[in-house]
Amino acid sequence: MKNAKAHKTVLVADDQEFVRSLVMRMLQQLGYETHSAKDGDEAMLALKFVDGALILDQQMDGKTGLEVLKAVRSGKTSLDRDFPVLIITGNADKDVVQYASALDVSGLLGKPVSKAQLGERLAVAMQRKIKLRSPEEYDIINVVKKPEPEYEAIPAPAPPPAEDKTADTKAEAPEGDGEAKLANARTLKTKDDPKASSGKNGSQRKVRTNIHYKDAQPGMTVAENLVSSHGKLLLGAGTELNENLIARLAVKCETDPSLRFLPVFVPD
């Protein structure tokens, strides 16, 4: 095993500096030389410095890990087409696994990456003999793309029938109107004080908390603007959740870890 490691340089490409540094440090402790890239495009330029293996994050800026892997297997880089390539993925995305397998990935690493996992899978990848197909067979594979920063706002439910204007009730905001949704939050007696008393007309007191999106229930109210990691408004503060919104929100939360814990008001 030591001979396999001797003087071998491994490229680590990840747009998260902490992860990149951690993996490089573990590789150095395992006896490998290292080179780093902060995104997929930089990784493509750094291939000339590598003779051991590539360790690529799937969801990074520039080219994704799968796109770099595809370029290697298609013969569009200076590396041999069977060069060892491992993909780091932060979730059990079946599409990522499927496409990585189709591109004859040398190994998969799950986050958080452990030293034991890294050493074992890298050693196997560097010894594995890949039975390559033609470059054209790899080139036609449409790899998984990163989520683009163009999420559409989840439409709010239709406004309820007109009621007594003196009642202390919320009006649902028109679709896509973020400012109107923000205005809804003001009908909650004190947004910033979860210990506030009931409304003057006997409205139920609301308590603010953070919940995992899988625990969301109809009747809960979004406590503050719900914004994706790309800065797109999904739900405005004051939006009351129903079964349809919860189901659609779950889809977004599965692909965007920043949304998995939701600030909501729940009836006390």
pLDDT in tens, 112-162: 899 999 999 999 999 999 999 999 999 988 885 655 444 444 555 566 666
Which residues are CB-contacts of 82 (< 8 A; sequence separation ≥ 6)? 129, 130, 132
pLDDT in tens, 163-187: 655 544 444 444 444 444 434 443 3
Counting Cβ atoms within 10 Å, is residue 18 exposed (0-12), middle (13-18) or buried (19+)?
exposed
Distance between CA 73 and CA 136 in Å, rounded?
10
pTM: 0.54
Residue 159 has what pLDDT?
61
Containing 263, the helix (H) or strand (E) segment is strand 261-267
Residue 192 scores a pLDDT above 60: no
Q: Domains in the chain, start-ordered, CATH in brackets?
A: 2-139 (3.40.50.2300), 178-267 (no CATH)
Give all strands of the β-sheet with 206-212 in edge-to-edge order: 206-212, 261-267, 221-222
pLDDT in tens, 60-99: 889 999 999 999 999 999 999 999 999 998 765 677 888 8
Distance between CA 157 and CA 172 in Å, rounded?
7
Share of the chain above pLDDT 90, in %: 40
